[in-house]
Structure 1
Amino acid sequence: MKVLGVIPARYASTRFPGKPLIQIDGKSMIERVYLQAKKSNRLDDVVVATDDQRIADEVIRFGGQVQFTATDHQSGTDRCAEVANLYPEYDIIINIQGDEPYIAPEQIDLLVSCFDLPDTQLATLIKEIHTQEELFNTNIPKVIINASGEARYFSRQTIPFIRGKAEDQWLSTHQFYKHIGIYGYHALTLQAVTKLKPSTLELAESLEQLRWLENGFSIQTRITTIETIAIDNPEDLQKISSLKD
């Protein structure tokens, strides 16, 4: 089983233009993500997927591998699929978020382990919720899993609803999970899901993974204990100000 890590990187972010090129403790964000991914024990190679020459130049500068992709992709999944077509020798594609400069290599390895199960089509990570703030934050997608660890549904609302209990008792009544946005795909499944049209549930919740579930694909999960820090806007840089190499 050969595994390729792909880091989609766009320059034209609405909330934070040029985000991959910002400097964090002397290195660009895209370099930090790339170097963390290279520490993974389960990735055979890592490539940055971009449509911007400035990002490509930066990747080349620090000695990374880069692949140009089309400018009209609607998601990182679509960008990964284009790269996967250019690397047909890889069985598994891991979509690594380009805005998590301190992503833990252990998380990548954990995600890849989902594909040790021969029938895994798609995979992602989840994490236990322990605070009321996270539990009822609609910006944090929640996920329900079955006994085999497969995702059954994702929602921005708190799921499941705990009947007969006050909301401040929910965490002591049931184990809730939030979604960690890193994905793995079997190469053949990746090509299949990118051909799907946006689904009803996806449009309702604005969650791409619901398109896959609604069309009958299974998503295997693993539970991580590591908290990820994503940089969505300039203010988020304060979250990582205390982190060092």
Structure 2
Amino acid sequence: MLTPVSVLAVIPARFGSTRFPGKPLALLRSVPIIVWVHRAVKRAKLVDRVLVATDNTDIANEIRKQGGLAYLTSPHCSCGTIRVVEAVKLFYEREPQDWNRLSVIVNVQGDEPAVNPEHIDIAIESLLKDKDETNLQVSTLATPIQSIEEWSNPNHVKVVCNSKHEAMYFSRSPIPYKDANIAFPHPFYLRHVGIYAFRKSFLEMMPQLSTSPLEALERLEQLTWLYHQKKILVNVVQHAWRGIDRPEDLIFLEKHLPIQRNQE
């Protein structure tokens, strides 16, 4: 039985996506994407509180209309996790009585309307099981790649792990190399899932890390953490719906997502 801790989930939601402007408010079966994500995260058993961190008042108002908590953050945040860091600072200012209890912050991407609440709990639990805060400060998820199209798609981030299930590298390129005899799914070919669980201490020091040149090349913030020798534990789940990067991803979920998913 794990010792009870206070876990805060933050959903970063930027309005001005380059590939899909206004994405958080786009409708999936008549419900805004950001509302789908918020409802799912609230169902995670290990999450005590959920907040949306956004640069847009319409997004914030949509969440507040649902009875949720939303903080307005800077439109100049360089990535989703920096927006999470800013939201956590606001949380500290507005909820100082909860700050000392807070030990884990979960980042669930605002474009993952079909995120599984159980997967959020897996990321949290795997972090809490390691009592040495200096050893492991970040956990995330991945799922087996199902096709060569998924493997070769730069919008699907791939991750390669070591024998301890720690990330060695993330890339938009098709990695690792695929021999003609390899068939999907295969345990070495994994797609990253957009959930991170952080220890509070990691988020407090993360803005001090200099940006890795690899982050700039791949446009993946987690490469900076690896560059600075921070361990990222990767939990493999057998199935995870893909997030929405482009309008065609929204069309895919409209067609294939089970009708009852995240509707309450």
* TM-score (ref. length: structure 2): 0.84
Separation (CA, whole Å) in 2 of partners of 1:15 and 1:135:
20
Separation (CA, whole Å) in 2 of partners of 1:178 and 1:72:
28
Residue 157 to residue 231, structure 1, CA distance change in 2 (3 Å):
closer
1:136 aligns with 2:140: no
Which region of structure 1 is more displaced relative to structure 2, 148-157 or 98-107?
Answer: 148-157
Indicate the SS of the match to 1:169. coil
Indicate the SS of the match to 1:170. coil
Residue 70 to residue 178, structure 1, CA distance change in 2 (3 Å):
same
Match of 2:226 among 190, 213, 219: 213
Matched length: 241
Separation (CA, whole Å) in 1 of partners of 2:80 and 2:242:
18
Q: How does 1:1-245 map to 2 (within 5 A)?
A: 1-85=5-89, 86-87=91-92, 88=99, 89-115=101-127, 116-119=129-132, 120-161=136-177, 167-171=179-183, 175-242=188-255, 243=257, 244-245=259-260
Asked if structure 2 preserves the Cα contact closer than 8 Å seen for 1:22 and 1:29, the reply is: yes
Deviations 1:113-164 (A, max 9, x none): 22122232011111122422233334332222122211112223333346xx
Separation (CA, whole Å) in 2 of partners of 1:226 and 1:52:
32
Shift of 1:204: 2.6
Displaced runs of 4+ in structure 1, greater than 6 A?
Answer: none
Shift of 1:32: 1.2
Separation (CA, whole Å) in 2 of partners of 1:135 and 1:28:
29
Of all paired residues, the percent bearing the same amino acid is: 38
Separation (CA, whole Å) in 2 of partners of 1:43 and 1:131:
33
Residue 161 to residue 29, structure 1, CA distance change in 2 (3 Å):
closer
Residue 134 to residue 23, structure 1, CA distance change in 2 (3 Å):
closer
* AA at the equivalent of 2:83: R
Separation (CA, whole Å) in 1 of partners of 2:106 and 2:80:
11
Separation (CA, whole Å) in 2 of partners of 1:132 and 1:12:
30
Separation (CA, whole Å) in 2 of partners of 1:234 and 1:139:
13
Shift of 1:236: 2.0
Asked if structure 2 preserves the Cα contact closer than 8 Å seen for 1:229 and 1:239, the reply is: no
Shift of 1:42: 1.0
Question: Unaligned 5+ residue runs, structure 2?
Answer: 93-98
Residue 111 to residue 236, structure 1, CA distance change in 2 (3 Å):
same
Separation (CA, whole Å) in 1 of partners of 2:28 and 2:158:
30
* TM-score (ref. length: structure 1): 0.90
Separation (CA, whole Å) in 2 of partners of 1:132 and 1:19:
27
* AA at the equivalent of 2:72: F
Alignment partner, residue 96 of structure 2: none
Separation (CA, whole Å) in 2 of partners of 1:237 and 1:154:
24
Asked if structure 1 preserves the Cα contact closer than 8 Å seen for 2:160 and 2:188, the reply is: no
Superposed CA RMSD: 1.9
* AA at the equivalent of 2:111: D
Which region of structure 1 is more displaced relative to structure 2, 173-182 or 86-95?
Answer: 173-182
Asked if structure 2 preserves the Cα contact closer than 8 Å seen for 1:10 and 1:51, the reply is: yes
Separation (CA, whole Å) in 1 of partners of 2:253 and 2:46:
26
